[in-house]
């Protein structure tokens, strides 16, 4: 039985390692037999989005930051639940109670999509800091909160201003205003709030915006304050890779592994580096090590799939991309990984479905239009192919 999984992610979701590496030129692909038709996954994508929207307003944890856990329950077609229980304890009884209470408060939940079974098991993961992300669908309330901070800034002393700039930066992130968030994080630091938390926020914002040297500068400051922060070494490795500094990226990933050998992130950082340098077998080994430590490590399945695809282990790659999408159904990048592989092995109809689902999630994703253009072209759907190609190019994505 397939378990539908959902994750309420950290507010700084943009800071994760790249979900999809740079597009690379592909050789000509043999045209396979027409694949069997399947139902579009967009039914579940839309369902999971509505599930998030229904549950997240009730998620207001009272415990300290840094906690995470998961619940599991059965959901029927009417939106009623049964068998609600803790799937993964946070280690904090109050936090666990908050997770259960959140689900109960949100009932009835959205109806299951057409074609779903009568009852579906759902696993839902919570992180304390997700409350920072709750207002993304309510810009009016965010605007009011920002205006309140603006008013407070006018009369605050320098020390208080640092706190307020940091809070306003986090508000900007809720509506994906990364540049404004970055500016406020910098103002917070200039006002004297230069602790690990705000430096980390700025480092992640810099990395997300492509300011890799600035990210590395922030990482260096953080490591002076906390030399054993494995998460910063992972972020540093990503920034080094994007800066073309391969040996430094490997060194940072190795340091993350040395500090936290039981955490998966260092291994996935190194696997990403191995993939970019063409050492795909070593990438697979590191992904396996990551999965030994966390069976739900999405990046490990994605990077292992990338390596397997390059090694022409297409069946294994497709299985890993399927798993990536199962764990992260609202990730357009995960859908595009699978779409690109389906194009390569001639499953053009399926590639079109995945690209369309990705566009629903991210309408300005040029890569999605490019891959769909290729699939349409291979199916002799000339008009659709041309339209998608033009759209891809208008969004700045010009493939090889």
Tell me if the pTM is above 0.85: no
The pLDDT score that the predictor gives to residue 133 is 36
Q: Which pLDDT band, with edges at 50, 70 and 90, does 239 fall under?
A: very high
Domain spanning 4-20+31-134 has what CATH number?
3.30.1150
pLDDT score, position 154: 87
Q: Is the pLDDT of residue 162 over 70?
A: yes
Mean of the per-residue pLDDT values of the chain = 82
Flag whether pLDDT at 49 surpasses 90. Answer: no
Q: pLDDT: is 307 or 125 the higher one?
A: 307
Is residue 41 pLDDT above 70, yes or no? Answer: no
CATH of 330-400, one of 1.25.40.10, 3.40.190.80, 1.10.645.10, 1.10.600.10: 1.25.40.10
Compute the Cα dihedral for 139, 144, 150, 152 and give only its sign.
Answer: negative
Q: Assess whether pLDDT exceeds 60 at residue 36.
A: no
Please give the average per-residue pLDDT across 221-239, as a whole number. Answer: 96
Query: According to the model, what pLDDT value does residue 26 have?
Result: 30
Fold match between domain 4-20+31-134 and domain 330-400:
no
- What's the token pair of residue 284? 């697979």
User: Is pLDDT at 23 greater than 90 in this prediction?
Assistant: no
Say if residue 286's pLDDT is above 80. Answer: yes
- Between 27-36, 91-100, 338-347, the lowest mean confidence (pLDDT) is in 27-36
Domain residue spans in the chain?
A: 4-20+31-134, 330-400
The model's confidence at residue 319, banded by pLDDT at 50, 70 and 90, is very high
Percentage of the chain exceeding pLDDT 70? 81
Q: What pLDDT was estimated at residue 128? A: 57
Query: For residue 139, what pLDDT is reported?
Result: 65
Judged against a pLDDT cut of 70, whether residue 310 lies above it is answered with yes
Sequence-separated (6 or more) residues with CB below 8 Å from residue 232: 200, 203, 219, 222, 223, 226
pLDDT digits (tens, 9 = 90+) for 374-394: 999 999 999 999 999 999 999
Ranked by mean pLDDT, the top range of 50-54, 139-143, 266-270, 362-366 is 266-270
Rounded CA-CA distance 48/147 in Å is 32
């Amino acid at each position: 039985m397939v378990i539908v999984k959902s994750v309420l992610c950290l507010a700084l979701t943009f800071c994760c390692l790249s979900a999809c590496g740079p597009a690379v030129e592909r050789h000509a692909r043999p045209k396979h037999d027409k694949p069997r038709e399947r139902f579009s996954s967009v039914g579940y994508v839309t369902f999971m989005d509505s599930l998030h929207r229904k549950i997240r307003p009730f998620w207001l944890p009272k415990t300290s930051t840094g906690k995470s856990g998961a619940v599991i329950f059965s959901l029927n077609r009417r939106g009623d639940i049964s068998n609600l229980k803790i799937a993964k304890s946070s280690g904090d009884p109050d936090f666990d109670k908050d997770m259960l209470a959140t689900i109960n408060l949100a009932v009835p939940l959205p109806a299951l999509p057409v074609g779903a079974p009568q009852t579906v098991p759902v696993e839902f993961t919570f992180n304390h800091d997700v409350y920072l992300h709750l207002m993304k669908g309510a810009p009016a309330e965010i605007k009011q909160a920002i205006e309140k901070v603006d008013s407070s800034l006018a009369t605050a002393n320098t020390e208080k201003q640092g706190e307020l700039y940091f809070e306003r930066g986090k508000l900007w992130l809720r509506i994906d205003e990364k540049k404004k968030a970055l500016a406020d994080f910098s103002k917070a630091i200039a006002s004297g709030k230069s602790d690990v938390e705000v430096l980390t926020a700025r480092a992640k914002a810099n990395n997300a915006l492509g300011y890799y040297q600035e990210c590395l500068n922030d990482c260096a400051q953080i490591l002076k304050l906390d030399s054993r922060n494995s998460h910063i070494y992972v972020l540093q490795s990503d920034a080094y890779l994007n800066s073309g500094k391969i040996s430094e990226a490997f060194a940072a990933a190795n340091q993350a592994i040395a500090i936290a050998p039981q955490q998966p992130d260092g291994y996935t950082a190194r696997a990403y580096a191995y993939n970019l340098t063409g050492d795909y077998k070593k990438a697979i080994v590191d992904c396996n090590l990551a999965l030994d430590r966390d069976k739900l490590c999405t990046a490990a399945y994605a990077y292992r799939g990338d390596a397997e695809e390059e090694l022409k282990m297409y069946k294994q790659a497709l299985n890993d991309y399927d798993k990536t999408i199962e764990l992260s159904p609202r990730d357009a990048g995960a859908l595009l990984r699978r779409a690109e592989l389906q194009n390569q092995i001639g499953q053009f109809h399926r590639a079109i479905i995945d690209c369309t689902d990705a566009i629903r999630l991210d309408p300005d994703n040029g890569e999605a239009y490019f891959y769909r253009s290729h699939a349409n072209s291979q199916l002799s759907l000339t008009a659709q192919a041309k339209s998608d190609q033009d759209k891809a190019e208008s969004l700045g994505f010009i493939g090889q």
